[in-house]
């Protein structure tokens, strides 16, 4: 976005070529169900402290193309749901896959769903059935919310600007002996505001790069992103707030109180939510830079190599050495090897780019990227006009940068087995992703 545009007074009449539609669907479970994101919970949910949502913002530009941003108070999504919803969106409204962003807040107080982190949980048959019921319903709720957002299309103007919020801390420094590590964070709060021709706020999507892990109890809620959206919507009646997760793979909201339903933990989560909502409010209350269309969109796969996978002999030998979760991951790989004859040597990693006519660029990355990706792409493509969205598409794993991969640790190498991947990513991981982003950016040049 060119800085000169900031001198223009943004009014609803300026960019009348846009149409936008919004919709939300309540995805709060209606029965006790295991909550997602932590491996150690012993019991299913036993209450709801806040309702959780999937939301959609449909944008039609002056070429007639429709693009949809979806957000969710969910820990992640799996390929099965994505393929189903993409197919239905194409059939219903002709929306191609590159024009749907599936972002999730990585909320750790939502239900376990489908194939997300499937090796992580040990569920009874009864609990598996509850997860299946919830997941089946979720498929249709996604289709429904996109359909309703498209049917809600009406004239709007779009504005973009960024605020700041400071509670994200690079968590890789919080373990014993790791204080010496660098602790990069991104405290920017990018905001896309959607206003009707009479200047009423219809929706605001705001982003932040930080794990939704302020809470860890057995109550359903949206964690700090849920409290941020709720606070923003209370302050702006009639407007829909959407939380967009950035590259928060190595950031936590700190301080936090672990393993509890303690009121003090909820106070912290609520407070972080209010800080974020206030940051977004300060942005929408001042002049924003008009966003013009059209949206040029592209999607592709970065072929990320894995390091050398274990051999059959090693996997068999491990069966005598490992117990608990490690044995479970080991046997999963052995079964995969038996089924396919080999373990995969690469992951086809989805990358999306939306380039708006006025210069705003959204880069959508898959899974849990660490903050280096956000900082790198903003440095390369412009800190004032680049919004890097992490946590889109399938929750395949953490995505370390080369620096984090070399450092090792949880987000670098240790968490990889939890996701059922055969080996840590290869040294090319960051360059392969950056190369794909660059290729897509170039393909969309005017």
Which residues are near Zn ion by CB under 5 A?
368
User: Minimum distance between the CB of residue 174 and Zn ion, rounded to whole angstroms?
Assistant: 14
Smaller CB distance to Zn ion: residue 368 or 430? Answer: 368
Taking residue 275's Cβ as centre, other Cβ atoms within 10 Å add up to 19
Smaller CB distance to Zn ion: residue 159 or 369? Answer: 369
User: Minimum distance between the CB of residue 419 and Zn ion, rounded to whole angstroms?
Assistant: 10
User: Minimum distance between the CB of residue 36 and Zn ion, rounded to whole angstroms?
Assistant: 10
Name the nearest CA neighbour of 196 among 14, 1, 409, 7.
Answer: 14
User: Minimum distance between the CB of residue 100 and Zn ion, rounded to whole angstroms?
Assistant: 23
Report how far apart, in Å, the C-alpha atoms of 94 and of each of 65, 83, 150, 267 are. Answer: 9, 15, 11, 44
Q: Give the tokens for residue 296.
A: 């040029």
Smaller CB distance to Zn ion: residue 191 or 251? Answer: 251
User: E strands within 357-422?
Assistant: 361-366, 368-369, 386-392, 398-399
User: Minimum distance between the CB of residue 89 and Zn ion, rounded to whole angstroms?
Assistant: 27
Neighbour-count burial for 399-425, b at 16+ CB within 10 Å, e otherwise = bbbbebbebebbbbbebbbbbbbbbbb
Handedness of CA 213, 201, 6, 13 (dihedral sign): positive
CA distance 331 to 39: 18
Smaller CB distance to Zn ion: residue 50 or 397? Answer: 397
Ramachandran sector of residue 172 (left: φ over 0; alpha: ψ -120 to 50; beta: rest): alpha
Ramachandran sector of residue 367 (left: φ over 0; alpha: ψ -120 to 50; beta: rest): left
User: Minimum distance between the CB of residue 249 and Zn ion, rounded to whole angstroms?
Assistant: 6
Smaller CB distance to Zn ion: residue 162 or 401? Answer: 401
Smaller CB distance to Zn ion: residue 188 or 368? Answer: 368
Residue with nearest beta carbon to Zn ion: 368
Report how far apart, in Å, the C-alpha atoms of 343 and of each of 292, 366, 380 are. Answer: 46, 21, 35
Smaller CB distance to Zn ion: residue 223 or 368? Answer: 368
User: Minimum distance between the CB of residue 217 and Zn ion, rounded to whole angstroms?
Assistant: 17
């Amino acid at each position: 976005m060119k800085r000169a545009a900031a001198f223009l007074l943004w009014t609803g009449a300026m960019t009348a070529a846009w149409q936008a539609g919004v919709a939300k669907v309540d995805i709060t479970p209606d029965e006790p169900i295991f909550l997602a994101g932590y491996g150690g919970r012993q019991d299913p949910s036993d209450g709801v402290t806040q309702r959780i949502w999937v939301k959609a913002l449909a944008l039609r530009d002056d070429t007639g193309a429709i693009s949809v941003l979806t957000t969710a108070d969910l820990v992640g999504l799996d390929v099965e749901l994505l393929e189903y919803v993409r197919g239905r969106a194409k059939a219903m409204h002709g929306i191609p896959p590159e024009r749907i962003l599936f972002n999730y807040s990585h909320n750790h107080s939502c239900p376990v769903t489908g194939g997300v982190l499937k090796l992580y949980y040990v569920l009874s048959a009864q609990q598996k059935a509850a997860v299946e019921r919830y997941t089946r319903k979720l498929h249709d709720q996604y289709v429904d919310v996109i359909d309703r957002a498209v049917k809600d299309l009406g004239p709007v103007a779009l504005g973009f600007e960024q605020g700041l919020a400071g509670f994200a801390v690079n968590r890789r420094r919080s373990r014993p002996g790791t204080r010496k590590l660098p602790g990069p964070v991104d405290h920017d709060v990018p905001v896309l505001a959607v206003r009707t021709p009479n200047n009423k706020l219809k929706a605001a999507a705001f982003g932040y790069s930080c794990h939704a892990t302020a809470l860890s109890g057995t109550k359903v809620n949206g964690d700090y992103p849920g409290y941020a959206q709720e606070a923003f919507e209370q302050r702006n009646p009639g407007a829909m707030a959407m939380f967009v997760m950035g590259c928060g793979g190595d950031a936590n909201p700190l301080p936090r109180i672990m393993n509890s339903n303690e009121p003090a933990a909820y106070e912290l989560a609520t407070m972080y939510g209010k800080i974020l909502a206030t940051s977004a409010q300060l942005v929408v209350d001042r002049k924003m830079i008009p966003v013009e269309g059209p949206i040029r969109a592209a999607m592709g796969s970065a072929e990320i190599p894995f390091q050398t996978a274990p051999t059959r002999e090693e996997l068999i030998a491990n069966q005598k050495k490992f117990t608990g979760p490690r044995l479970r991951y080991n046997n999963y790989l052995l079964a995969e090897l038996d089924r396919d004859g080999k373990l995969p040597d690469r992951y086809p990693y989805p990358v999306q780019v939306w380039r708006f006519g006025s210069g705003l660029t959204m880069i959508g990355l898959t899974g849990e990227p660490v903050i280096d990706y956000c900082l790198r792409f903003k440095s390369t493509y412009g800190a004032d006009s680049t919004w890097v969205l992490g946590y889109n598409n399938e929750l395949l794993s953490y995505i370390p940068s080369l620096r984090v991969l070399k450092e090792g640790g949880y987000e670098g190498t240790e968490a990889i087995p939890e996701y059922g991947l055969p080996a840590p990513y290869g040294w090319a991981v960051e360059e392969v992703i950056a190369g794909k982003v660059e290729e897509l950016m170039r393909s969309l040049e005017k």
